[in-house]
């Protein structure tokens, strides 16, 4: 019996350090806000798709995404045609940009990247922080800079919704300097009231947009996650009796 317990402890000791390792990815760089997203929330994905098609495809492409794929987020072919398809495009077309790559480089000093897989390379929290991270900076050609992407070439396309932010340096609880954004002028989706910023409505739209970018990076994930829950439930049902009998076996000698 003693041996069995020793084995069990040895096995646990091997597994536990992995379980307890915290995510290291965000250390060092600017602090990222947690993106409140859910790829099973089709209404959020639909709102995100609308924002994306209306605001991003003028500069960016999403060439791995086709318009008819939006049926995966609960839109009908008719809805896609009426609300999202640009003039002259067909439902089976890829999401291509209106301008040429060179124009982008000439106008902004950098080519706007294809956004199909941006959520995979950058992560949802980065995108959510980036989209809400633009602030006024008169030293930049566009007049804007970004808290998580210093000297970004992209202009702040949501300035009318968000209003104006400025970057302030403050001391945090441990006495370290920290850069934080402060709303200095309300937009159509934010409000400044007695010095307090209300940004919930704008944040929600950026969460919807981030949700859509995540979906686009892995369109099959929505279905796979649903299958995953079923598999986990099945495994749970299967494992429960196994674990139960194992417990009985271990404790048999003790009682």
Positions touching ligand HEC (CB under 6 A) are 55-56, 58-60, 104, 108, 110, 112-113, 115, 118, 122, 127, 130, 149, 152-155, 157, 209
Residues 6+ positions from 141 with CB-CB distance below 8 Å: 109
Residues 6+ positions from 35 with CB-CB distance below 8 Å: 124, 125, 127, 128, 129, 207, 210, 211
Phi-psi region of 123 (alpha: psi -120 to 50; beta: other; left: phi over 0): left
What are the two backbone dihedrals, phi and then psi, of residue 38, each rounded to the nearest 5 degrees?
-155, 110
Determine the Cα–Cα distance for residues 165 and 227; give it in Å rounded to an integer: 42
The candidate with the shortest Cα–Cα distance to 105, out of 63, 59, 151, 68, is 59
The candidate with the shortest Cα–Cα distance to 187, out of 169, 163, 168, is 163
111 alpha-carbon distance from chain centroid: 22
Residue written as tokens 């439902």? Answer: 91
The candidate with the shortest Cα–Cα distance to 203, out of 129, 148, 145, is 129
């Amino acid at each position: 019996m003693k041996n069995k317990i020793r084995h069990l402890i040895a096995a646990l000791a091997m597994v536990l350090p992995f379980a307890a390792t915290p995510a290291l990815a965000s250390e060092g760089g600017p602090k990222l806000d947690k993106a409140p997203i859910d790829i099973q929330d089709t209404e959020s994905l639909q709102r995100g798709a609308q924002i994306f098609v209306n605001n991003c495809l003028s500069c960016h492409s999403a060439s791995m995404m086709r318009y008819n794929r939006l049926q995966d987020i609960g839109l009908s072919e008719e809805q896609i045609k009426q609300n999202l398809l640009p003039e002259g495009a067909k439902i089976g077309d890829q999401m291509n940009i209106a301008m040429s790559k060179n124009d982008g480089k000439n106008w902004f000093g950098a080519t706007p990247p294809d956004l199909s897989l941006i959520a995979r390379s950058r992560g949802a929290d980065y995108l959510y922080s980036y989209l809400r991270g633009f602030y006024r900076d008169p030293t930049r050609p566009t007049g804007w800079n970004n808290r998580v992407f210093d000297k970004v070439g992209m202009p702040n396309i949501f300035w009318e919704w968000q209003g104006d932010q400025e970057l302030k340096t403050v001391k945090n609880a441990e006495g370290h300097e920290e850069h934080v954004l402060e709303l200095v002028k309300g937009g159509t989706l934010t409000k400044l009231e007695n010095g307090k910023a209300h940004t919930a409505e704008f944040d929600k739209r950026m969460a919807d947009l981030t949700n859509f970018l995540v979906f686009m990076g892995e369109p099959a994930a929505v279905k796979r996650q649903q299958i995953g829950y079923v598999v986990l439930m099945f495994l749970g049902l299967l494992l429960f009796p196994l674990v139960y009998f194992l417990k009985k076996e271990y404790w048999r000698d003790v009682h």
